[in-house]
Amino acid sequence: MRMLKPGKTYDEVYNSFSWNIPQRYNIANDVCDQWAEDPRRVALVYEDENKKILTFTFADIRKYANQFANTLIARGLKRGARVTLLLAQDPECAIAHVACFKSGIVSSPTSVLFGPDAIIYRLNDCKAKAVVTDSANYPKIAEIRAQCPSLEHVFVVDGEPQGASNFWTAIEGADPTFTNVDTAADDIAWISYTSGTTGMPKGSVQPHRMLLGHMPSLEFIYDFFPQDKDTLWSPADWAWMAGLADILLPGWFHGCTVIASAMKGFDPEEAYRVLDQHNVTLALLTPTMLKLMRQVPDALDRYNLKLRAALSGGEAVGKELLEWADRELHIKINEGFGQTECNVILGNNGNVFPIKPGSIGRPTPGTICAIIDDDGNELPPGEEGHIACKRPHPVMLLEYLNKPEATRDKFIGDWLITGDAGHMDDEGYFWFHGRADDVITSSGYRIGPGEIEDALLKHEAVQMAAAIGVPDPIRTEIVKAFIILVPGVAPSPELADALRESVRSRLAKHEVPKLIEFVDSLPMTTTGKIMRRELREREKNKIN
């Protein structure tokens, strides 16, 4: 059942919603069991690395999740134990999450891109009792296993190397029935690690209620889903909130089919194929992904898309992408804003209110957001400060695992501070200026990199752009831009001058990049966000 009542205006939708979070709640009941009585209802369509398609019904997911829950308990894992899932968009990853929810065991999604050091930190921080992984990543576990005293069991989904059990063999004889644990809404469901901006990664402790906290926002941004035959897909890995909490779990909450693939990295041509072949109606595509898709020649002459809504975020979408999507894809790109600890708290729905290019939208139904200063005072429209969300809100983390000081510092009074800087305009739209540490300070000006990057992207020679501040003895910082050119365009000093002039014609003089470097690639996260912090570190190392 949809949590949000559709409406024709923002005020109508926002004002008609109120929270009703039960005291007892288990995610598995909603994302699996309620749909499993229909033996034909398809939960997951998975493409392996050879594009072989495997289809799982909700009845399949329930059976295998029940078997894995029983297997974990038989191996001695008790309620509250932690299981690390070192997998990508594998069916076993989804099955294992549901098994953990059912049994009161805590899952911890972990990216397969991590090396041994990153994995050992996470395993030891959450005291993982078991790991589920694949043959390609098992050597990382074998290498560090002796340094992980809590780790007792390793399951490999596509093999049985020495020291591990094959996932499917292990569950084969287990009872396919299971009575879900009676969990409180505030009981821990999973732990997601977020790198933040300083120190070691922090384990964001996510309660079962967090899924309910997501749903009104995603129903709003996905233009009041579910609708008939809604099918969801994103290249975003399920190790991250974008893939897990914005696609997989919300899709299954409404009994929709989710598409998954073994795609290694993002291939824009493949993205079009997947969208077409699998009749995807709802997608999460980062601005970086959309920019790459825009470069594919004649894509819409070769593929027949059924998209009706798309969620984007992580970086500013910008006017160019919005206009391209409206013109070519015939959809609105609804930007959303949030973070692991407090996800999707601002967003757009272009069919309900006008999208302002560059804005991250307005507070989603059930959410109170504001721009605050360092003392927690709300700032008036136009003033820059912390983008913050007021508690209580069911989408918020419980705490940072083993880090009470970090938990305390996440809040100013009743405001959860996102770590992002921005402002609100006089119509209630929020504008992202950058991560608090991404904001460039030059000659007394505070400059958000997103606006500069959007201006650079308007030049026909630019495929991708990133802007950062680099130290300057006079101005504190000066703006430096890193540019990936479109194929066939050669870098030159004359082109750099033309790009500066292009920015100067659109933005203020102090926002024009003093330095421009042409590069072949930019450091990015697995969800397609440019890692400006890494670019800053590179520049500091050059100086040192």
| Listed range (254-258, 263-267, 297-301, 359-363) with the worst mean pLDDT | 263-267
pLDDT, residue 510, reads 81
The pLDDT tens digits for 70-113 are 999 999 999 999 999 999 999 999 999 999 999 999 999 998 88
Tens of pLDDT, residue by residue over 225-257, are: 999 999 999 998 899 899 999 999 999 999 999
**Closest-CA residue to 131 (of 112, 104, 156, 102):** 156
447-464 tens-digit pLDDT: 778 778 988 998 999 999
CA dihedral 378, 383, 388, 389 (to 10 degrees): 60
**What does the pLDDT read at residue 526?**
66
Domain region containing 474: 441-543
Residue range 385-411: mean pLDDT, rounded = 97
346 within a domain of the structure (yes/no): no
The count of structural domains within the chain is 2
Asked if 116 and 143 count as a contact pair (C-beta separation under 8 A), the reply is yes
Q: Which two tokens stand for residue 69?
A: 């829950």
Query: What amino acid is encoded at 102 in this protein?
Result: K
Residue 185 counted as domain residue: yes
* Residue % of the chain over a pLDDT of 70: 97
pLDDT band at 197 (very low <50, low <70, confident <90, very high): very low
What's the CA gap between 485 and 280, in Å, rounded? 31
Per-residue b/e over 105-121, b at no fewer than 16 CB within 10 Å? Answer: bbbbbbbbebeeebbbb
Residue 493 lies inside a defined structural domain of this protein: yes
Domain boundary residue, one of 160, 187, 207: 207
- For residue 379, being part of any structural domain is answered with no
Neighbours of 37 (CB within 10 A): 10
Amino acid at 408: R
pLDDT in tens, 507-542: 777 889 999 999 999 998 766 778 888 999 899 888
> So what's the pLDDT on residue 527?
67
Q: Assign 416 to helix, strand or coil.
A: strand
Residue 270 domain flag: no
532: enclosing H helix or E strand:
helix 532-543
- Whose tokens are 């540490």? That residue is 437
Residue 164 pLDDT > 90, yes or no?
yes
Of 207, 224, 246, which closes a domain?
Answer: 207
How far apart, in whole angstroms, are the C-alpha atoms of residue 326 and residue 339?
Answer: 27
With respect to residue 226, please indicate whether it lies within any of the assigned structural domains. Answer: no
CATH code of the domain in which 176 resides? 3.40.50.12780
> What residues contact residue 96 under an 8 Å CB cut-off, 6+ apart?
65, 68, 83, 85, 87, 107, 132
pLDDT one-digit tens code per residue, 480-505: 999 999 999 999 999 999 999 998 88
The pLDDT of residue 198 is above 60:
no
Would you say residue 3 lies in a domain? Answer: no
Going from the C-alpha of 462 to that of each of 99, 289, 323, 390, 510, the distances in angstroms are: 46, 15, 17, 39, 21
pLDDT (0 to 100) of residue 314: 73
Q: Is the pLDDT of residue 37 over 90?
A: yes
Last-in-domain residue among 207, 223, 248: 207
pLDDT at site 508: 72
- Residues 463-480: what's their mean pLDDT? 88
Q: Read off the CATH number of the domain in which 505 is found.
A: 3.30.300.30
pLDDT at 113: 82
Region 129-139: mean pLDDT is 97
Residue 259 domain flag: no
Average pLDDT, the chain: 93
The pLDDT tens digits of the residues spanning 295-343 come to 999 999 999 999 999 999 877 788 889 999 999 999 999 999 999 999 9
Give CA–CA dist 399/205, Å, rounded. 5
